[in-house]
Structure 1
């Protein structure tokens, strides 16, 4: 669903070229992600490189709001964070544009390779330590995901046709378990809150974390926990192999993540995002199996 460089609003392209100091001679669209937006590595005629993200109000107006949030967070991140530096951002004719330094990296190989996974998990652990306490102002995780992380509770009053039999049998208990996630996830760490392979870039032995619109303040281990269902569904080890910790707080957060993925995977596709529900459903399968393993409920 990526928008190619020539289809970006002409005034936006002109503004980017003015900022970069010359016309764009090469523009390579980057794959991955879900937003119906432009994600382009550009090179000017003078040789300057940058990574440009731009989105308009169609077909998904929520994407504009998300990009504004990303611009605010990216501008505030300290240089110690392993993220590309935001060079500029602007709103123009309904479009939101962010221009980042261009990182000569690649996404992790899929299916996941264990050496790259270990590199990423180590980098995530170091990042969490460096971002404790949170160096910038951001919403709490309870506020950020208050409406999203109530999937099991919402399913109590919705059509449950086709729901996993185990989940249906334990639905009331899952809703109760899920309700404890805000307290379980409370902390003072700035977390990315949306880690997965397409939000990571590898360059040599360094890991860059991109796309920060959902950043919030929560418990230090949240990013690792929230990432593991995507690792499992993309050919890596299953979550229980990577995080056997029986901490009840982790279980409450896993319940919230599983409920989010399962319920949202049952919803219609959002405008302009035809692949996101399938991705959520696939993660939901892994997250639910992890939750079954953690609770031990039969």
Structure 2
């Protein structure tokens, strides 16, 4: 299988350190016990606002991310969740430590350990992907052993609406709305946009709804899940390891292979290998139930595709194109699992 065209960069709208209000910069200085003297904005990632590696007058280094509700109304709560989750991670999880926070109700800032390292190169290089996949296996073991009392929403309960994308596209309603009707013209427009994105998916919407309906039965388990593994959330260290950053979306009661499944469409979209070959060869994927993986992959593809058809959120102009690229990669993978070449009608669901 030839790789799809490269995905657009995973990048939000970054603001410089100097754009932070003085009160926020002073709060960071209190955490570091000295004022910041240098700040280098970091590329990659979708969160809007400030993301910078900083050095304080005393030489202490840190990574600071800060956002205002004026930039994006949802981002402050995402930062708050990341602070809670990062602080609660057990020591065996390769993640940066939380050094301190600032929250004035409008601005939320996180001061994190500055991890020496860089993001993997994209398009992906084989040796770096091998390193990351080994690290994902180790991460899976660490998250499976994480405390059961970790305060994170259960995966299958919290993602029910998120993973109902095909249902919403077919019926024009929320998953819980029993009417399953909306304005005919609006519904037709939605389906026309889907047909432009992927004619196969448009023709087979009902099968995709049916196929993804059982994902909750398959994706539940006893592990924590990061739920947002991508190249821009991974740092390769000089010592040859990998550290996983950005932890706001942690879920509990997940299958151990869930993070690997979520990661592979982005890998494929950014020049990586066939996700089916990677998944089935990986320690986390080899023991997964094939039918359950297919159902969860179908639901994941529905999330990406339905999201890609929505207007961009404030401050995140590149999110929808990146979701579209992941949706196309996920659908390509799903068609392979169904034994269906692009453009053909699907065969029997894998059992």
TM-score (norm: length of structure 2): 0.82
Tell me which residue corresponds to 2:184: none
- Mapping 1:259-270, distance limit 5 Å: 259-270=302-313
1:7 and 1:123 map into 2 onto residues whose CA distance is: 36
1:277-296 per-residue CA deviation (whole Å, 9 max, x = no partner) reads 00000111111111111122
The yes-or-no answer on 1:86 pairing with 2:98 is yes
Tell me which residue corresponds to 1:168: 202
Measure how far apart 1:142 and its partner are. Answer: 1.2
1:45 and 1:137 map into 2 onto residues whose CA distance is: 36
Residue among 141, 144, 148 paired with 2:162: 148
Measure how far apart 1:97 and its partner are. Answer: 1.1
Greater Rg by CA: 2
Tell me which residue corresponds to 1:210: 245
2:278 and 2:77 map into 1 onto residues whose CA distance is: 34
Measure how far apart 1:89 and its partner are. Answer: 1.5
Measure how far apart 1:133 and its partner are. Answer: 4.2
- Mapping 1:28-67, distance limit 5 Å: 28-67=40-79
1:144 and 1:71 map into 2 onto residues whose CA distance is: 19
Name the Cα RMSD after superposition.
Answer: 1.3
1:126-182 per-residue CA deviation (whole Å, 9 max, x = no partner) reads 111122144223111112312211111111124210322211221111101111111
The yes-or-no answer on 1:193 pairing with 2:207 is no
Tell me which residue corresponds to 2:320: 277
1:238 and 1:229 map into 2 onto residues whose CA distance is: 9
- Which ranges in structure 1 are unaligned for 5 or more consecutive residues? none
1:45 and 1:251 map into 2 onto residues whose CA distance is: 53
The yes-or-no answer on 1:131 pairing with 2:143 is yes
Q: Is the 8 A contact 1:151 1:256 kept in 2?
A: yes
Residue among 89, 100, 107 paired with 2:119: 107
1:233 and 1:168 map into 2 onto residues whose CA distance is: 21
1:189 aligns to what SS in structure 2?
strand
Runs of 4+ in 1 over 4 A off after TM superposition: none
TM-score (norm: length of structure 1): 0.97
- Which ranges in structure 2 are unaligned for 5 or more consecutive residues? 1-12, 172-186, 281-285, 346-351
- Mapping 1:245-256, distance limit 5 Å: 247-256=290-299
Residue among 181, 190, 201 paired with 2:215: 181
Which structure has more relative contact order (CA 8 Å, sep 6+)? It is 2
Measure how far apart 1:93 and its partner are. Answer: 4.7
Give the aligned length: 298
Residue among 267, 282, 298 paired with 1:231: 267
The yes-or-no answer on 1:286 pairing with 2:329 is yes
Measure how far apart 1:36 and its partner are. Answer: 1.2
